[in-house]
Structure 1
Amino acid sequence: MPHEEDFTEALRTTLLTISPPDTPSLVQAGVRNGRRRRRRRAAVLGVSGAAVLALVGLGATLGPGLLSDGRATDPAPPGSSAPATTAPATPKPTFTGTLPANRALATLSALLPTGLTRSTPPGSGQSGQLWVDDGRGKSLLEVHVSRQTSTTEIRKHVFAGATPLPDGTLIQSRQSPPGTTPGHQTVNVLRPDGLYVTLMQWQATSQNGPATRTTPLLTPTQLRTIATSPRWQ
């Protein structure tokens, strides 16, 4: 027998001895292997998710500002809500230069004690003057309010020797000598921001007219209270 035939015969014999593959068994094994891999992957994901939830829960339990080892966290970033302390409100200036006489008179009228009769002298809108009567004689009140950019000369001449209040406000009160007719009282107030208030009263209807009263209409305390009011801002 030629060599080619011998080889062919040997190959045929070998093939007859080999059993065909068990295809269904191979498919089932592959399916089982795939399921095992999915279960392992699902288990890993479940563990990771549980760890994340545990960390979130731990953070909620610890609260802001503290880590599990007791160290403080970083402070809240700018813009985050936090309780703020409210500073006392400071009245804001409502004018510069000289306060118009009509506005000054309106503020003066609002600060006067109740039960007084008010009337306006001729030209009072330009001079800041007001007639006031308590039933025992008419008195002339005059007010001037300004905001000074430089207070050196005023401090030197008007408030010489005055002791500042704790907030820096200067107050100087003056009255005419006894026996002067008509009697005259003045209160000057200078605030640290340059607000300058001068409040005067005469025991007459004009500065040089005859006396209409024997006692001042407003007491020194009332004059001071009006002149130092924050409403002049």
Structure 2
Amino acid sequence: MPADPHGDPFESRLSAALHQAGDGFDSPRTGLATAGAVRGRRMQLHRRATLAGGAAGIALVGVGGALLVPWDDTAGTPTPSSVAATATATGPGASYSADDMVRTLRKLLPEGKFSRSDARGTDGKQPPLAVGVFDDGKGVGSISVGLGRIPGRPAPSGAVMPCPTGGQTGLDSCRTELLPDGSAVTVYQGYEYPDRRADTKAWGADLVTPAGHHVSVVEWNAAAEKGKPVTRPEPPLSPARLKELAAASEWRRIIDALPEEKAPATPSASSARPAEMAGWLILRKLALLLPKKLERVSNGSQETGFGYFVVDDGKGESLVQVNVQPDMSDVAGELFGSGSETLADGTRVAVRQEPGEKGGAGVVQWTVDTLRKDGMRVVVSAFNTSEQHRAATRAEPALTVEQLRAVALSPRWVSGQD
């Protein structure tokens, strides 16, 4: 999907990444990370939906940090696939191959031809995946389905990908609703690139069940996410079809077969690394740490590791973003040079004030990068624009360096407070 309008902090898809080929899910938003990514150690950002023109994260979090539950169901209640209604979970004793994933996707698609591009089953190190090219006779389009599990019994409304808030979201449509079984699903219609430099559209559905099943479906109106010409005006599946495909219980049966160690909250996260902080939690913590006088214009997050607010102090909109990475002590030497400082508790701090990296005219980026003794890295950046690839809209970011420092060093990041 889109190249993140808000920038790519530890630049590698997110883009937040809309696709699930590779090491894990990818979702629409090409770059949500802040300057200073370390080679080989950047976190795999989940690409799942188009937030502010790029991909989004995972949680229905509103301005001020309050959880928003999508009770408004004026558009009607979705009807899950009839095939899905009769399926039953088989449990962790079962095993599903890459071919099973492809067969299931073919079965659930409408009439047409599906050609496999990539697939994974439940027996590998990475979560199940099925990617291919679908042709309904009106032009080919790429379709991707990725599966995972969110540990415990999450509140679906707080774990599903959120729709962005604010006026300029970069999306043509986005809606989150609750299904009769208690699942929450977000269906969005956006673009692979937020600046519309190509006509490639990226539409998707992100679903979370009360049992923690996580299904992400993404489709494009081209044979691939990038690098292929547009072949039809819109992707093959309508929003209603996307919702139906994500809700099919066949996917839940496959997810139930995943061993716990192969079904982390973040499918792309390594089991050898400390758990990454959920995007919705980062967004809530950031909401509580921002100066109260700032108006919160819009916000968004990725499934793990990243959250942002666009704020306004009355002098223009300003993007503020936070990245949280665990277990980064081994690269401290690369991140913190001679200009950095070490606090009494061992926390390393580096401050940078530099031009923006996304091409926006006159954009500046102020960053406070911190690394605690336990290896947790918190990076907070602010910009003098609401979107990095667009021109500056104010002289300086809305937060001062001292305010950014206070946010980055807050004990809230390492405490149980949310």
Whichever residue aligns with residue 404 of structure 2, its letter is L
Residue by residue over 1:122-169, the C-alpha shift from the partner in whole angstroms, topping out at 9 and shown as x without a partner, is xx2215121111111000111011221x5122x122112233212111
CA contact (8 A) 1:159 1:171 kept: yes
Give the equivalent residue in structure 2 for 1:18. none
Residue by residue over 1:50-84, the C-alpha shift from the partner in whole angstroms, topping out at 9 and shown as x without a partner, is xxxxxxxxxxxxxxxxxxxxxxxxxxxxxxxxxxx
Secondary structure, counterpart of 2:403 in structure 1: helix
RCO (CA 8 Å, sep 6+): is it higher in 1 or 2? 2
Give the equivalent residue in structure 2 for 1:193. 374
What is the CA distance between 1:96 and its match in structure 2? 3.7
Give the equivalent residue in structure 2 for 1:120. 298
Give the equivalent residue in structure 2 for 1:227. 408
Whichever residue aligns with residue 228 of structure 1, its letter is L
What is the CA distance between 1:195 and its match in structure 2? 1.4
Secondary structure, counterpart of 2:341 in structure 1: coil
Looking at structure 2, the residues matched to 164 and 116 of structure 1 have their Cα atoms a distance apart, in angstroms, of 30
Change in CA separation of 1:212 and 1:181 when aligned onto 2, cut-off 3 Å = same
What is the CA distance between 1:177 and its match in structure 2? 4.9
Query: Aligned pairs, how many?
Result: 134
Give the equivalent residue in structure 2 for 1:156. 333
State which of 369, 376, 399 in structure 2 corresponds to 1:218.
Answer: 399
Whichever residue aligns with residue 118 of structure 1, its letter is R
Residue by residue over 1:10-57, the C-alpha shift from the partner in whole angstroms, topping out at 9 and shown as x without a partner, is xxxxxxxxxxxxxxxxxxxxxxxxxxxxxxxxxxxxxxxxxxxxxxxx
Whichever residue aligns with residue 168 of structure 1, its letter is G
- Tell me if 1:170 matches 2:355: no
Give the equivalent residue in structure 2 for 1:66. none
Where in structure 2 are the equivalents of 1:30-41 lying within 5 Å? Answer: none
Q: Which has the higher strand share?
A: 2
User: Could you tell me the TM-score, scaled by structure 1's length?
Assistant: 0.54
Residue by residue over 1:83-129, the C-alpha shift from the partner in whole angstroms, topping out at 9 and shown as x without a partner, is xxxxxxxxxxxx943211111111111011112111325xx221512
Give the equivalent residue in structure 1 for 2:258. none
Give the equivalent residue in structure 2 for 1:48. none
CA contact (8 A) 1:101 1:144 kept: no
Secondary structure, counterpart of 2:301 in structure 1: helix
Secondary structure, counterpart of 1:194 in structure 2: coil
Please list every run of 5 or more consecutive structure 2 residues that lacks an aligned counterpart in the other structure.
1-272
RMSD (CA atoms): 2.0
The percentage of counterpart residues that share the same residue type is: 36
Please list every run of 5 or more consecutive structure 1 residues that lacks an aligned counterpart in the other structure.
1-94
CA contact (8 A) 2:383 2:396 kept: no
State which of 326, 332, 344 in structure 2 corresponds to 1:147.
Answer: 326
- Tell me if 1:100 matches 2:278: yes
Looking at structure 2, the residues matched to 231 and 157 of structure 1 have their Cα atoms a distance apart, in angstroms, of 26
Looking at structure 2, the residues matched to 118 and 157 of structure 1 have their Cα atoms a distance apart, in angstroms, of 34
Looking at structure 1, the residues matched to 307 and 341 of structure 2 have their Cα atoms a distance apart, in angstroms, of 28
- Tell me if 1:181 matches 2:181: no
CA contact (8 A) 1:170 1:190 kept: yes
Runs (4+) of structure 1 exceeding 4 A deviation are none
Looking at structure 2, the residues matched to 113 and 163 of structure 1 have their Cα atoms a distance apart, in angstroms, of 25
Change in CA separation of 1:152 and 1:164 when aligned onto 2, cut-off 3 Å = same
CA contact (8 A) 2:318 2:383 kept: yes
User: Could you tell me the TM-score, scaled by structure 2's length?
Assistant: 0.31
Give the equivalent residue in structure 2 for 1:63. none
Looking at structure 2, the residues matched to 216 and 152 of structure 1 have their Cα atoms a distance apart, in angstroms, of 31
